[in-house]
Amino acid sequence: MLKCPSMWLQLVLGLACLGAVSLQSLQSFPKLCDVNNFDDFLAQTGKIYADEGERAYRESIFAAKKSLIDLSNKNADGGFSGYRLYLNPLADLTKKEIATLLGSKVSESGEKYTNGHINFVTAPNPASGNLPESFDWREKGGVTPPGFQGMGCGSCWSFATTGALEGHLFRRTGVLASLSQQNLVDCADDYGNMGCDGGFQEYGFEYIRDHGITLANKYPYTQFEMQCRQNETAGQPPRESIVKIRDYATITPGDEQKMKEVVATLGPLACSMNAAPISFEQYQGGIYADEECNQDEVNHSVVVVGYGSEGGQDYWIIKNSYSQNWGEGGFMRILRNAGGFCGIASECSYPIL
């Protein structure tokens, strides 16, 4: 199981294992350490249930997930799997409750904006044969720390949209600026998005092309949809805190070579994937390869920030929006060149500055 660092190191890293707190009140969910049973889980998350019946129900969910995690990690220890799981604060939630985090949704009103959109040439002077074998925008300084979208808020689409744009702005300007997910959650409904009820990264880019987006420090994230405040947070003309794009481009579904080309030469990609399996929810590290994620449609938006290979397996590096206490510091490695694993190559786009 995950070991707790010393208290001094916890404070330095901001990764303290928390107790007696409400998950819903956190900007990030707590990092759980050495969870051996349900009592440990409750002590570290601070969760309190309405009655004993509810507690027993939640403990049964926890026990089933713990059994799956233990079996999965046993397979990893035996060399039969390349990824590991661990118990995190989502371990007592039902599939329906977890689905509130999975907000990648296309809509009829949104598709009227994207229908007929041009699939632009995705890299200038493509040089596929000369692409690096591995690439990571984190190493270049072009990725902001993973945030937490919040329980009950399916705003992953806004995190994917801003994450991709942040990387492309960095490549163009050399400056890493955090952009406001809240701006999109509050203001982009007319483009087919539904705030915390879901949306789509392409609709987010449509909005930014027409209206721009505010810096995150001017328009902070709240984990709730609120009244649009873009005008009052943008500053006085010339509205220096507003970022705009010329357009956006999409990747032909399934074209992982083109994805690699864009990531290595232009910047990160906003992509959809299927994040419904428990193994995704409770992922700790390694190259994710659970075939269960190929059984359903895509439902979650992430940012592809790099790629590489390890032990003969190619992988994508994705940035999630479950906080830095999920996965590999908020990131996941997922199989690459494996038929668009988990649907990762089915819906990818990026901004054109």
Adjacent-strand bridge partners of 248:
351
DSSP H helices, the chain, are 7-13, 38-45, 52-77, 95-98, 108-114, 137-140, 156-173, 181-187, 201-211, 230-233, 256-265, 278-281
Catalytic residue chosen out of the listed positions 183, 211, 299, 300? 300
Q: What CA–CA distance (Å, rounded) separates 183 from 92? A: 31
Q: Which residue has the tokens 């990609």?
A: 269
Q: What CA–CA distance (Å, rounded) separates 303 from 165? A: 10
- Determine whether 300 is an active site residue: yes
Q: What CA–CA distance (Å, rounded) separates 90 from 150? A: 12
- Determine whether 293 is an active site residue: no
Minimal CA–CA distance to 222: which of 158, 163, 285? 158
Exposure pattern of 45-62 as b/e (b: 16+ CB <10 Å)? bbbeeeeeeebeebbebb
**Distance of alpha carbon 213 from the chain centroid:** 19
Catalytic residue chosen out of the listed positions 228, 320, 342, 348? 320
Instruction: Give φ, ψ of 310 to 5 degrees.
Output: -155, 130
Degrees to nearest 5, angle at CA 120 with 114 and 124: 155
Q: Is the peptide bond before 126 cis (omega within 30 degrees of 0)?
A: no
Q: Is the peptide bond before 238 cis (omega within 30 degrees of 0)?
A: yes
- Determine whether 37 is an active site residue: no
Catalytic residue chosen out of the listed positions 156, 187, 342, 348? 156
Catalytic machinery residues: 156, 300, 320
